[in-house]
Amino acid sequence: NMAKGGLAYKFDETKRARFGILPRYAKDELQMRWFELPNCFIFHN
């Protein structure tokens, strides 16, 4: 928990990783493409 000096996120080894790609000129969220991959850690801010 961040209030106690911890991290804002937590890595859960039991979950599969997912990431989404939204085309730059997408008209709506329906154009989002989701991909699942083996368990890994991806962080982007």
pLDDT tens profile 1-45: 678 888 777 788 888 888 899 999 999 999 999 999 888 876 665
> How much is the pLDDT for 24?
94
Alpha carbon distance 17, 34 (integer Å): 10
The binding site for Fe cation comprises: 44
> How much is the pLDDT for 26?
94
DSSP states along 1-45: -GGGT--S----TTSPEEEEE--TT-SSGGG-EEEEESS------
Alpha carbon distance 42, 18 (integer Å): 9
> How much is the pLDDT for 45?
59
pTM to 2 decimals? 0.53
The binding site comprises: 44
Alpha carbon distance 3, 25 (integer Å): 38
> How much is the pLDDT for 15?
85
